[in-house]
Amino acid sequence: MKQRITAFLVALFCCAIGFAGNIQADDVSLKPGETKDLMLSLTSAVSDMVGVQYDVTLPNGFTLETKESTVCQLSQNQASDMTCNVNDLGNGTYRFMIYSNSLQKLKAGELMSLNLKAGNNVALGNYPISMHDVAFSDTDGQLTNAEGTTATIKVTNFYPAATNIEIPDIKIMSGKTAPLSLTLLESIRGCVGIQFDLALPDGFSLEKDATGKEYSISVYQANDMSCNLTAVGNGVYRFMIYSNSLKEFVPGELMNINLKVSEEKPLDTYSVSIQDVLLSDIGGNAHNDNGASANVTVTPPYTPGDVNNDGVIDSQDADCVVNYLLEDAPATFIFDAADINQDGKITVIDLGYIINLTMAQ
């Protein structure tokens, strides 16, 4: 066995024939000065091999950090007696030689992770990292070359959550327009550009306001914020929002979208969704987002304050609210007309509003 291992090690330093097997590396995102795992994996094409050697070349400004006396960790997916020898060849290139002391075969899947560190002064952006001069060895010491691979290191100051945008459930009167509010969560910090598709069900559309726009950007965002809106078709509208000076978005209200429902749309609850969301950081890196959805309930037309729907606002409407609060609402009672402040509940505050409306008639 010792002779076979020796033959294998010797073979790793010799010339080799071509081999279609491959090594793969995952893209990784990290901040300047941060260390993260860069995962390397093997394809199924290397299942008959017992050892591998390859070089990893890092771009300027990046290093492999030593943790617990090593710059890498072998995966538990591989044999428990797997050994890794690492040599620093200089100029950002490291040579790895991996083998099992009992000549057990390499397994497809995770091979190892590297402790990749970005320098404190590395600029935000994308950088290539290459795995090259790859060679595999079988149990007979036959060495074969394999194709290398490249991965992308994304240096960013933006780490979004799975979901970074919220939209609330709303009610909208049949044939009318209501604002659909989009809110950014705390995890949005570091983002400078947002693109998303708004998908509406049949019978819904976007309505232009007095400024000629179907939306309004919140005053809480940068004052040079721009929005490009495109009708994709089939009820889908694409929004692309960004600051001309690349200022970051802030958590809170992003925008209101003027949502209109047709008079012919049946009274019911429908779903609208934000999908195909892309978030961009200042380095130009794109990040995916799960999107969001909300329920839109189409209600009968009503006039706020006209609780009994008789066409006028008078003392009878105030009496209807009092009866509702006493749990004795009449059949003609319209909840949404009584919820003047639109907080989803009816209280003495709404009653006060209705009394004021009555006195103003």
User: Are both 85 and 14 inside the same structural domain?
Assistant: yes
181 located within any domain: yes
Instruction: Work out the angle at residue 108's Cα, subtended by the Cα atoms of residues 104 and 9, and round it to the nearest 5 degrees.
Output: 40
- pLDDT of 71-122, one tens digit each? 999 999 999 999 999 999 999 999 999 998 888 999 989 999 999 999 999 9
In this prediction, residue 252 carries a pLDDT of 95
Final residue of a structural domain among 109, 130, 155: 155
User: Are both 218 and 187 inside the same structural domain?
Assistant: yes
24, 55, 68, 210, 287 from 97: Cα distances, Å: 16, 9, 19, 69, 34
User: Are both 186 and 274 inside the same structural domain?
Assistant: yes
Residue 5: pLDDT band with limits 50, 70, 90: very low
337 located within any domain: yes
Domain that holds residue 270: 165-299
User: Are both 44 and 8 inside the same structural domain?
Assistant: yes
Final residue of a structural domain among 252, 273, 299: 299
* 63: enclosing H helix or E strand: strand 62-64
Residue 14 has pLDDT above 50, yes or no: no
- pLDDT of 282-308, one tens digit each? 878 888 999 999 999 998 888 888 888
Query: How far is it, in rounded angstroms, from Cα 320 to Cα 246?
Result: 53
User: Are both 292 and 173 inside the same structural domain?
Assistant: yes
What the block records as the tokens of 103 is 């000549």
Token pair 């969301």 is found at 277
Final residue of a structural domain among 155, 183, 218: 155
96, 299, 306, 349 from 333: Cα distances, Å: 77, 13, 9, 17
User: Are both 263 and 321 inside the same structural domain?
Assistant: no
Token pair 């002779």 is found at 3
262 located within any domain: yes
Better pLDDT: 45 or 1: 45
CATH number of the domain that residue 80 is part of: 2.60.40.680
Contact 272, 183 (CB under 8 A): no
Rounded to the nearest integer, the mean pLDDT of the chain is 89
293 located within any domain: yes
User: Over pLDDT 90: what percentage of the chain?
Assistant: 60
User: Are both 85 and 111 inside the same structural domain?
Assistant: yes
Percent composition of the chain: helix, strand, coil (DSSP 3-state, to 5): 10, 45, 40
Contact 252, 268 (CB under 8 A): no
User: Are both 265 and 175 inside the same structural domain?
Assistant: yes
61 located within any domain: yes
- pLDDT of 223-269, one tens digit each? 999 999 999 999 999 999 999 998 999 999 999 999 999 999 999 99
305 located within any domain: no
Token pair 């209109």 is found at 260
Residue 341: pLDDT band with limits 50, 70, 90: confident
User: Are both 347 and 209 inside the same structural domain?
Assistant: no
310 located within any domain: no
User: Are both 226 and 277 inside the same structural domain?
Assistant: yes
In this prediction, residue 2 carries a pLDDT of 47
In this prediction, residue 19 carries a pLDDT of 47
308 located within any domain: no
User: Are both 84 and 132 inside the same structural domain?
Assistant: yes
- pLDDT of 264-274, one tens digit each? 999 999 999 99
User: Are both 213 and 239 inside the same structural domain?
Assistant: yes
Domain count, the chain: 3
User: Three-class SS of residue 84?
Assistant: strand
